Structure formats: C-alpha cells, structure tokens
Structure 1
Amino acid sequence: MSTPTAQADPSSELIPTAAAERQALIERWADRHGIDAARRLAEAEDLADAVAAEITPDNTVDTYAKSWRVWARFCAFADLPEREGSRGALVAFVAWMLREGQQNGKGYAPSSADTHLAAAVTGLRQRGVAVSGDDQAAARKALAGLEVKLLQAGERRGRGQAVGADIDGLYAIARSCPDTLAGLRDKALVLTGFHYASRAQDPAGLQRGDVTLHPRGLVVAVLTGKTKHSVRSAKIGYATDPEICPVHAYTTYRERLVAEHGQRWAAPSTPAFVGIDQHGHITGGLVPDSVTRAIKRISARAGVPISWTGHSLRIGLASVGRQRGKDAIAIADQGGWARHSRSMLGYMQRDDGWDDNASAGLT
C-alpha cells in the first residue's frame, strides 16, 4: 500500500527529521482512516505550516535563527550534541550565556539569555527534539537565580529600559525643528508617534492612505503589529496647544511635501514618512532602523537630557498617560497592547520613584 507524502522545502535544515516524522504520521492516518483521508489530512498539515510561516513576523524568524546560532556555539564549546535538550544541557546553556556566551567572551544580559533560551527551545522542537516543560522550567529557574546572584554582586547588565518621551521633550523638539521639509517631517514623526505609542516599524510601514483626516483629528491605521492588539486604528485628536499639535504637524508636513515635490506624493500608496537626504532630495520611504536613528538625532538636536530611542515614544504614551490619569484600558487600546499587558504596566512609571511611591502621604 502506498501512502501520500508531505511536501517539504528542500532548502530547510529541518527536513530530515520533520519529513520523516510527517511521513510516519501520514502512514498512521492511512492505516486508521484510509489513503484518501490521509492525503486530505496531509494537505491540511501543509496548509497549517504555510499559515504559521505567513503569520510569523520577520523579526521573530531572525531571532530564532540568531538564537539557534548561539545554541550551536554553546554545544560546540561544551562538546554536546545540538539536537538534545535535556535539563542539564539547558541549565548549562543558561550558565554559559551569563558567564561568557557573547562572541566577545562577555556574558549576556539576563533578558537576552532568556530570549535565546526560549528561541533555542523552539528551534529544538522544530527539529523534532522533545523538550519537556519541566526541563525548560528548570533552566528558567536557574536563570532567575543566577540573575539574583548578579544583582547581589552589584552587576546590572543590559541597556535597561529606554527613557520615555515626555511633554517637555515634545516642546523642545517642536521648537528645534527647522522650517524645512525635513524639519517638518521630523516634527510630525515624533508628535504623531508619541500619540499612538509607535514602535520604530510602525511609521516606517505607514502609507499616506493609512493616515486619514477626521473632523476631530487623525486616524492612523497601524498594520505592522505582531499581535491582534497591535494592529489597530489609532485616533489622534487636535492638541490644545498648536505648537505641539500632532494633527497640525502632520498635515503641514504633507502639504509641504506635495508643494515641493509634486502631486504624485499625494497618492495613497506613497510612504507617509519619506526619507530626505542632506540636499533635500526624497530617497523613498523610511525603514525601522532609519526611524530609530531619526528619533535619536531629533532628540539630540533638541537638547533632550537623555537621547530618545525608537521605543521612547511608546514608553512615553503609557507613562504620561498614566500620570495624567488616563484609563489603563484606553492606553492599551491606543498603543496596541493587550489589556493589562505586563510590558505596558512596566512602562507606566515615575522616573524618580517619589511621587508614585506606595508609602507617599501615608503618615
């Protein structure tokens, strides 16, 4: 009796194990349900694989690939087989990462080690390696304990959380942007990004047609999110002070763009935020890295005490929104967080720890 075979991507390193497992599964289906049903089930599996590949963000794929390379370096260092995910191997992996895992021989920050551990486990499972939840939990417990040891020794690794944008910074940026197309673009990029808690990839992915004018402000269709919460239509109202009004800033920038470079830039398919070289020439759309660099440059030009990063606008909406008494659910919906998101709650911060202190005013 012949059985249907699953199609596989010949370029994938996962083929030998995955294809063999798929074929064994199909043979069990054929014995249980017959050839035709097994073929339909195999086609459904192929569809499920295609959907999973389609919905996995590119940066997640890159993280998995990078973390697998870290795992491979560890296995070569420890002389362990790559395709075994035992409790001891995972705990040793965590300890090695914190001790000397980076290419330069330094230890990773615990947050980076946590990311690599999770992605390495995913990579092992993709390659047909059984990794138990208990073994992964043991590695996470070891990581948490070792992180405490680092803190007790006075060692804090990693860049820490980016500084959040604030209202004073928005005023400084608005006043420092020159009255040029590039300056107007910079002003609009920051003021609108703050109001919908943008990640760097969000303005880079916006087209002109994704930002529409409404009688009460702007509606920004954010389509670059990684979750169902982050894909959203964010509403940005007119500000009380025109100097830092995101709606005025965006419409003024777009009007100048069309006036100086032609009506074709009014087309809905053109980038919402364009790249502009030092000579004033349009270079096309922005990419996430160029958005991050732009925000750093814009904040530095404005004399913001600590330069903002690509994540500062996102942190700023959560932090300032909480300071101003905005409802956490409203903040989550505007910024594309899941309601009661741990990361969002972490952004809702007071930098000095005095005003927002649990003991303040109790005695």
Structure 2
Amino acid sequence: MPALAVAPGTLVMFVEWLWTQPGWKKGSFTAPSTIDRRISGTVVSARAQHGLKLEDGVARLARNRLKQLVKEMEEDGETRGRGQAPPLLVEHLIRISAACPDNLMGIRDRALVLMHFAVAGREHELTFNLVRDYAENPGGIQADLRVSRSAPASSQSSTAPGLQSARSAPGRHGQGSRRGRAAEEAGLAPVIARYQAQPLAATVPP
C-alpha cells in the first residue's frame, strides 16, 4: 500500500491494525485515545506536509469503527491505557524545589517548574517565552505566554502568585534566574536556555 494512501477505507484498516498493536504496558493493547490521535495526525500530516487534497470527513468511518471497537471492549470488561494521571500538588512542588541544587542551574530549574505549575503551562509555551515576557507585579509575576495551544496567534496573560514557602515561590526564583541572565541581550534571551537538550538538575527524593 502506498505510504500516502490516505482514504476512508485505508484509515479504517489503520484503526483495525492499531487496535491489535501492543500498548505501553506488557500484555495490553493500544489505547483508544492513542488511536484517535494517530488518526488525526495522519490526516493533518497528509494535508499539511504532503499537500494531499482530502475530502472533508475523510476519517469519519475510521472513527465510527473505533467507537464500535471501544463499545465491544467495554462490554467485555477490557481496559486499555494508563488511565487518568495523578495530579501534581503543592506538596510535590516543595519536594522538587528542595531537591534542586543551590546554584544557577538549580535556580533556573526551580523557576521553570514553579512557573509551569503557577500558569498551568505546557513545555512549548514556556520555552517560547523571552525574559521580557515576565514582569513583577504586586500579585506575583505577570507572565505573557506568546505561544499557546488555545490562542497561537496572541499572548495569554497569567499571574504566578508566590506560595507560602520561599523555596516554592515562582517570583523569588524567577528573579534569581533573571538576574543570572542579565548579561545576555537584555530582554531578548530565552528564559530557559537549551531547554530540550538540558534536563532538570534535580533528583526528587522518595
């Protein structure tokens, strides 16, 4: 079958094939949510990256078949996927913050984690931000998210309040990280340097 044979029938067969593929856990199979995302990714990639002119609703039959498979799965009592992820709580943030070293990298990592939590941000939203996108105000730090899944063409503004613990306050560590980068092109440097290539420095204790 040609790699770009994206059509209603081939997408249905794609669903059938994915349904039988191994899941993340040994002995399990691919989760319905994962299959749905792969249908979307296939259609979007075919249109955006390969310039295919696909009919509207090209994936409708595939999604209908997926719904049928999910219904049969539920009737059989089968479960797939990891389930709902456990929430990240303030008590976890305190442990993460305490595990960060007391150096510039630790300040950077602490600021990143706390800002992620405070603005409910995604990785790409913070990595696209520049130093100038943060400003102190009486309520904490004003963060202007220049790239957002909900509004990619405009900025989203959010205030990151300080928590009770000094080691858990986004404002305090955002200031430290900012001072540490003051020598770099005022306001134009990325807040988190080489974020994807440089992992967090902390090892969280059990």
TM-score interval w.r.t. the shorter chain?
0.7 to 0.9
Match of 1:286 in 2: 195
| Kept in 1: contact 2:15–2:62 (CA 8 A) | yes
Change in Cα spacing, 1:120 to 1:179, as seen in structure 2 (3 Å) is closer
Indicate yes or no: 2:155 matched with 1:231: yes
Decide which structure has the larger Cα Rg and report it: 1
| Kept in 2: contact 1:114–1:140 (CA 8 A) | yes
Change in Cα spacing, 1:146 to 1:115, as seen in structure 2 (3 Å) is same
Change in Cα spacing, 1:128 to 1:171, as seen in structure 2 (3 Å) is closer
Indicate yes or no: 2:178 matched with 1:254: yes
Match of 2:52 in 1: 127
| Kept in 1: contact 2:162–2:169 (CA 8 A) | yes
| Kept in 1: contact 2:162–2:168 (CA 8 A) | no
Match of 2:189 in 1: 270
Q: Secondary structure at the match of 1:128?
A: coil
Change in Cα spacing, 1:248 to 1:76, as seen in structure 2 (3 Å) is same
Identify unmatched segments of 5+ residues in structure 1: 1-74, 275-284, 305-363
| Kept in 1: contact 2:30–2:80 (CA 8 A) | no
Match of 2:169 in 1: 245
- Name the structure, 1 or 2, with higher relative contact order (CA <8 Å, separation 6+): 2
Match of 1:338 in 2: none
User: Mapping of 1:95-134 within 5 angstroms?
Assistant: 95-100=16-21, 108-122=30-44, 123=46, 126-130=51-55, 133=57
TM-score (norm 1): 0.47
Indicate yes or no: 2:129 matched with 1:220: no
In the alignment, the residues of structure 2 paired with residue 114 and residue 303 of structure 1 have an alpha-carbon distance, to the nearest angstrom, of 36
For residues 58-85 of structure 1, give each alpha carbon's deviation from its aligned partner in whole angstroms, at most 9, with x where no partner exists: xxxxxxxxxxxxxxxxx359xxx825x2
Match of 2:204 in 1: 302
Match of 1:92 in 2: 13
In the alignment, the residues of structure 2 paired with residue 99 and residue 236 of structure 1 have an alpha-carbon distance, to the nearest angstrom, of 44
| Kept in 2: contact 1:211–1:272 (CA 8 A) | no
Compute the displacement of 1:187 (Å): 1.2
Compute the displacement of 1:109 (Å): 2.9
User: Mapping of 1:70-89 within 5 angstroms?
Assistant: 75=1, 82=5, 85-86=7-8, 88-89=9-10
Change in Cα spacing, 1:202 to 1:121, as seen in structure 2 (3 Å) is closer
Compute the displacement of 1:107 (Å): 5.7
Structure with greater proportional helix content: 1
TM-score (norm 2): 0.77
User: Mapping of 1:123-162 within 5 angstroms?
Assistant: 123=46, 126-130=51-55, 133=57, 136-151=59-74, 152=76, 154-157=78-81, 159-162=82-85
Q: Which amino acid aligns with 1:128?
A: K
Q: Which amino acid aligns with 2:204?
A: A
| Kept in 1: contact 2:134–2:142 (CA 8 A) | yes
Indicate yes or no: 2:94 matched with 1:175: no
Compute the displacement of 1:171 (Å): 1.2
Q: Which amino acid aligns with 2:14?
A: F
Q: Secondary structure at the match of 2:20?
A: helix
Compute the displacement of 1:150 (Å): 3.8
In the alignment, the residues of structure 2 paired with residue 247 and residue 127 of structure 1 have an alpha-carbon distance, to the nearest angstrom, of 48
How many residue pairs match? The answer is 197
Identify unmatched segments of 5+ residues in structure 2: none
Q: Secondary structure at the match of 1:111?
A: helix
Q: What is the aligned-residue identity percentage?
A: 23
Q: Which amino acid aligns with 1:302?
A: V
